[in-house]
């Protein structure tokens, strides 16, 4: 069981690295697809992990933190763009109204 868990964690780590790369290139659909594959590799029960899996788990955690940070950056960027769009829309409405 330990070898199977180790192999699954290594594959999950490789997918996590691909996810970070995809996120860096704003390929969020690919990130989602890879995450589905990664989730299937992770054991359902935490007790399947042992001390020998610590390094791999730490690497997975680190990559997840990078992904979360990138997702937060993108969320903020989209929020800012939406706010700008709403401002532009209101300004255009005001212009159209006053031009009548």
Q: Domain coordinates of the chain in residue numbers?
A: 2-99
In order along its 100 residues, the chain shows pLDDT tens digits of 478 888 888 999 999 999 999 999 999 999 999 999 999 988 765 666 777 788 888 899 999 999 999 999 999 999 999 888 888 888 888 878 887 7
The C-alpha torsion from 21 through 28 and 16 to 64, rounded to 10°, is 100
Q: What angle, rounded to 10 degrees, do the helices at 2-24 and 28-41 form?
A: 170
Q: Report the pLDDT value the prediction gives residue 72, as an integer from 0 to 100.
A: 95
Q: Report the pLDDT value the prediction gives residue 48, as an integer from 0 to 100.
A: 66
pTM: 0.70
């Amino acid at each position: 069981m330990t070898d199977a868990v180790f192999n699954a964690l290594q594959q999950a780590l490789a997918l996590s690295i691909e996810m970070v790369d995809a996120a860096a290139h704003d390929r969020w659909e690919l990130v989602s697809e890879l995450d589905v594959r990664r989730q299937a590799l992770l054991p359902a029960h935490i007790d399947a992990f042992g001390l020998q899996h610590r390094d791999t788990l730490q690497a997975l955690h680190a990559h997840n933190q990078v992904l979360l940070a990138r997702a937060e950056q993108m969320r903020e960027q989209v929020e800012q763009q939406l706010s700008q769009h709403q401002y532009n829309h209101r300004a255009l409405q005001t212009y159209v109204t006053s031009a009548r």
